[in-house]
Amino acid sequence: MLWKDQYELGVPSIDEQHKELFRRVESFLQALRSAGSWEEKAPRLNETLEFMKGYVVEHFRDEEEYQLSINYPGYEHHKQLHNGMVDYVLEVSEQYERSGNNEDLMQQFGGRLLAWLINHVAAEDQRIADYARKKG
Ligand SMILES: [Fe+2]
Ligand SMILES: [Fe+2]
């Protein structure tokens, strides 16, 4: 399991979304690395990719709403990071479709998605929790 309890923000709804994101990314990576031809693997990966496109947007919106509710001063910067990620996911997804489900594109995407998720949740999202704690 890639999720670590230290990633928790202490906001149950957000923590649940983070866990779900980690679960999905993990199963995405497992599918990428599993045996079998790309033709066999592609449908499951496409499904996860479609889910991520929707879920990431939903999660970012909820997390941004939470930031506003506590007057988090890093809100604008954080929102830019989220928007950058949404743009990246949509861009890869379009490229992937145009390429006719190119495997290399998805392999590269899997690695970057995991790195982004860990860095973002462990560092940027934690700053929100730090602020909330300080504020009391
Ligand atoms: Fe988050
Ligand atoms: Fe975030």
Q: Domain tally for the chain?
A: 1
Which tokens sit at 25?
């990314």
For residue 78, give the ligand nearest its CA: 2
Q: Would residue 26 count as lying in a domain?
A: yes
Ligand 1 ion local residues (Cβ < 5 A) = 63, 125
Q: Give pTM, 2 decimals.
A: 0.94
Going from the Cα of 103 to the center of ligand 1, the distance in angstroms, rounded, reads 27
Question: Which ligand sits closest to the CA of 80?
Answer: 2
Rounded percentage of the chain residues whose pLDDT exceeds 70 = 100
Would residue 3 count as lying in a domain? no
Return the higher-pLDDT residue of 69 and 48.
69
Angle between helices 103-119 and 38-69 in degrees, nearest 10? 30
CATH code at position 41: 1.20.120.50
CA angle 33, 24, 122 (to 5 degrees): 105
Alpha-carbon torsion (96, 61, 8, 118), positive or negative: positive
97 lies in a domain? yes
Residue 29 lies in a domain: yes
Domain-embedded: residue 1 = no
Q: What domain range includes position 103?
A: 10-135
Q: How far is the CA of 39 from the centre of ligand 1 (A)?
A: 32
Tens of pLDDT, residue by residue over 51-88, are 989 999 999 999 999 999 999 999 999 999 999 999 99
Determine, yes or no, domain membership for 2. no
Distances from the Cα of 1 to the Cα of 21, 22, 29, 44, 70, angstroms:
12, 8, 12, 20, 31
